[in-house]
Structure 1
Amino acid sequence: MIQLPPQLQIMLAYDAVDFRQGIDMLAARCRNQLNHDPFSGTVFLFRNRRGTAIKLLVYDGQGFWLCLKRFSKGHLAWWPQATGAPLHPLAAHQLSVLLMNGHPELARFQEAWRALPATTTTAHAACSRTVGGA
């Protein structure tokens, strides 16, 4: 299960990365190439060169989470083209669509009834498995 609260900051890296890279190399890439603090609580999203897998990197205040999704069939249906900036922001609901191999910019969502304030504390996103088989 991945918890994605609406106020979570999510940044998609345009360029593909070598998926042999682990937490330390991806955190260094965030800092050195993407000019963003990997300890900020931001969820960083990366894809492999073939477009068959996605990695999520996030720091939760106690340590890093590194989550991987490899698509069983086909390639990513959508990934934005680079615009000169190293990162592309995504909303939490757009990430949910992307993780199901959908097109987040074509998906339609109802407007929020009341906008949530931007959070200044460490964001919480975690990969965890459900206990009890639910």
Structure 2
Amino acid sequence: MLMPSGWWLVTAPMDLRCGMDRLLVHVREHLDRDPLDGGAYVFRNRAATRIKVLCCDAQGTWLAVRRLQQGRFIWPLAGARTWSLQAEQFAWLCAGVDWRRLSAQKGLAPRV
């Protein structure tokens, strides 16, 4: 069961043709984070119609893909390299709903 210690949105679009190894390197080298920290890292394509979720646990690495049939994923504006989300906000993001409505109520800010 995927149970990450936190959810991190990567604000810059990625080429989602890449696999988990390239995404692990991106987390380590471009975000200056340890990809083995138990957090889930969420990447999107340029059109914001697909996301990939990368998460490592004690047994291995998870890589999940989601595509919206209509609409786009709501993504934060560029500025910070990553944004921290709560599990409820991530569920809204996956459904294609504006998760920032929850953020405005809880006063979340970007994390670098």
Whole-angstrom distance in 2 between the partners of 1:42 and 1:3: 10
1:30 to 3, 24, 27: 27
Q: Which consecutive aligned stretches of 4+ in structure 1 deviate over 4 angstroms post-superposition?
A: 2-5
Count of aligned pairs: 104
Report the CA distance between 1:107 and its aligned residue.
Answer: 3.8
Question: Equivalences for 1:16-27 in 2 at 5 Å?
Answer: 16-27=13-24
1:82 to 69, 75, 78: 78
> With structure 1 as the length reference, what TM-score do the two structures score?
0.72
Structure 1's unaligned 5+ residue stretches are 112-134
Structure with bigger gyration radius: 1
2:54 to 53, 57, 67: 57
User: Percent identical across equivalent pairs?
Assistant: 34
> With structure 2 as the length reference, what TM-score do the two structures score?
0.85
Structure 2's unaligned 5+ residue stretches are 107-112
Alignment partner, residue 44 of structure 1? 41
Whose relative contact order is higher, 1 or 2, with alpha carbons under 8 Å and at least 6 apart?
A: 1
CA RMSD of aligned residues (A): 1.9
Aligned to 1:106, the other structure's residue is in SS state: helix
